[in-house]
Amino acid sequence: MMAMLSHTHRSDSRKLQMKLNLIAFAAMAGLLVIAPFAIYPLLVVQILCFALFACAFNLLMGFTGLLSFGHAMFYGWSAYIAGHVSKEYGATPELALLFGMATGAMLGLIVGALAIKRQGIYLAMITLAFAQMMFFLAVQMHAITGGEDGLQGIPRNRLFGLIDIDSTGRVYWFALGVFLLAFLAMWRIKRSPFGENLKAIRENEPRAISLGCNTARYKLAAFVLSAAFSGLAGSLKAISLQLATLTDVGWQISGEVILMTLVGGVGTIFGPVIGAVVVVGLEQMLLGFDDWIPVIYGSVFVLCVLFFRKGILGQIQHVFQKD
């Protein structure tokens, strides 16, 4: 009887959680619809791309507990490939995004297959090293990446070959649409049986193995998915902001995406979005004091790790769960 009661209580609280999440999603979508009227749209697009990137990163760190320190390679290289196919072959935006995602997924498959069996700290070092290799390759492979100059003035071709998105106003709606769809897809993945298994692995891997779960395969799948969505974020950025440079593929970006996820709340659904807003917001506040950005980022990192490991949203949830 008690067990049943607590069970219904739990499913009640799950329903409540779901309701809250739906309200939050509606609020987020609503805010994003109004945002371009208040803030410079391309700045919001930048936030959207980072938010998508952070959500993709969270798919790995938050839902499987694996820390990658090299996600910039997926983000940056997808940006190059999406930019390249748009520029050289006139690929339509949706195709460019697909190419970008595929780039991320393929890179993720290779790196993941090599690295995924190694735990925690090892994985972080290996991904960081591979990302650095991809950075050097980006410097050298001029024909695709434009080397030190990067790809400038990437064209925004017609969506599906029909719809013109080549204006600040139009590209915003395009970016928002991609972001919301990808966000919903990742949310769905988290709630799927696959996502539940990932959670089980994160919470108790030996137990998951003893239950017959091929945890290495699950982790690899999560790694590839995370890389693919990071690739989507990178290619969205390349098309909307018409730019893909070495900055996108450098280790600082890998650090930044960790920071966004950490600040917002590792493992929460909306945390990475909040993190992206905070980090881009900080950058805007420090405009003109660019030199101070690394120092501020570093301090936020240190503070988060020492005192604030749940992040903004995680902390809020923690407070509410106590009541």
By beta-carbon proximity to other proteins, the closer residue of 86 and 268 is: 268
Quote the least distance from Cβ 256 to other proteins, whole Å: 10
Residue bearing tokens 């709340």: 265
Helix, strand, coil tally for the chain in percent (to 5)? 80, 0, 20
Angle 110-115-116 (CA atoms, 0-180°, nearest 5)?
Answer: 100
Quote the least distance from Cβ 192 to other proteins, whole Å: 26
Q: In angstroms, how far is CA 144 from the centroid of its own chain?
A: 24
> Rounded to whole angstroms, how far apart are CA atoms 287 and 246?
21
> Rounded to whole angstroms, how far apart are CA atoms 219 and 32?
33
Quote the least distance from Cβ 177 to other proteins, whole Å: 34
By beta-carbon proximity to other proteins, the closer residue of 221 and 258 is: 258
What is the helix (H) or strand (E) element at residue 243, kind and residue range? Answer: strand 243-244
How far the first Cα of the chain sits from its last, in Å, is 24
By beta-carbon proximity to other proteins, the closer residue of 14 and 142 is: 142
Spatial contact of 256 and 279, defined as CB atoms under 8 Å apart: yes
Quote the least distance from Cβ 141 to other proteins, whole Å: 10
By beta-carbon proximity to other proteins, the closer residue of 39 and 302 is: 302
What single-letter amino acid sits at 90?
Answer: G
Quote the least distance from Cβ 139 to other proteins, whole Å: 8
By beta-carbon proximity to other proteins, the closer residue of 45 and 256 is: 256
Q: Token pair for residue 80?
A: 């190059």
Quote the least distance from Cβ 134 to other proteins, whole Å: 9
By beta-carbon proximity to other proteins, the closer residue of 1 and 306 is: 306
Who's near 158: CB < 8 A, 6+ residues apart?
A: 92, 93, 164, 165
Quote the least distance from Cβ 147 to other proteins, whole Å: 13
41 torsion bin: left (phi>0), alpha (psi -120 to 50), beta (else): alpha
Binding site for other proteins (CB under 8 A): 67, 69, 114-115, 117-122, 124-126, 128-130, 132-133, 136-137, 139-140, 251, 255, 258, 262, 291-295, 297-302, 304-306, 309
> Rounded to whole angstroms, how far apart are CA atoms 189 and 59?
9
Q: Token pair for residue 96?
A: 């460019």
Using DSSP bridges, classify how beta strands 243-244 and 151-152 pair: parallel, antiparallel or unpaired.
Answer: antiparallel
By beta-carbon proximity to other proteins, the closer residue of 119 and 167 is: 119
Quote the least distance from Cβ 310 to other proteins, whole Å: 12
By beta-carbon proximity to other proteins, the closer residue of 90 and 294 is: 294
